[in-house]
Amino acid sequence: MPVNERLVEELAQLDDADFVAVIERVRRERTTRRPPAPERPKTADRDALARWYATRHMSVDPTIREVIYLPERAPADEIRLIEINALSAVPDSAPVEALDFGADIDLPGEHRLFVADVTPAQWDRIRAGSLALPDGWGLAGNRAFGRR
């Protein structure tokens, strides 16, 4: 039996309090092994900020597998990210929607951060051209930030 299946079987046998205690202990141990969050850029360079947001989001949310930065066709003061989230609650059939994160990180100049959270299946459909991105977004010139 594969290791994951055995773990699922064993965890399913625990009562609720023990289950939560085990999961919390594992979460704490994994958190201490994560590399520190990246340092915030000192300037409002859009590409550097995009890299920082992407790596920061992945360091905070372990279910984000990859972040795709879409600089082309975006206004100069706008950062567009697609986050491929393994545990996203978004239905695979849902349209892609970008949320305005209202970034305010005390740097000279202003910028806006838009993030579209997608499932791995949605990402496959986006790349295949069968699922549309938000109006004005495109994959040309994208940059991927992944885990290790």
Instruction: Tell me the CB-side half-sphere exposure of residue 126, using CA atoms within 13 A.
Output: 24
pLDDT band at 117 (very low <50, low <70, confident <90, very high): very high
In 111-141, which positions are buried (b, 16+ CB within 10 angstroms) versus exposed (e)? bebbbbbbbeebbebbeeeebebeeebeeee
| CATH code for residues 46-146 | 3.30.460
pLDDT at 10 over 70: yes
pLDDT band at 103 (very low <50, low <70, confident <90, very high): low
pLDDT for 89 equals 86
- DSSP output for the chain: --HHHHHHHHHHHS-HHHHHHHHHHHHHHHHHHSPPPPPPPSS--HHHHHHHHHHHHHHH-TTEEEEEE--TTS-TTEEEEEEEETT--S-TTSPP-EEE-----S-SS--EEEEEEE-HHHHHHHHHTSSPPSTT---TT-EEEE--
Q: From residue 39, how far is each of 36, 46, 51, 60 by CA, in Å?
A: 9, 15, 11, 14
pLDDT at 128 over 60: yes
pLDDT digits (tens, 9 = 90+) for 31-73: 777 776 677 777 778 898 899 999 988 988 889 999 999 999 8
Question: For the chain, what are the domain ranges?
Answer: 3-33, 46-146
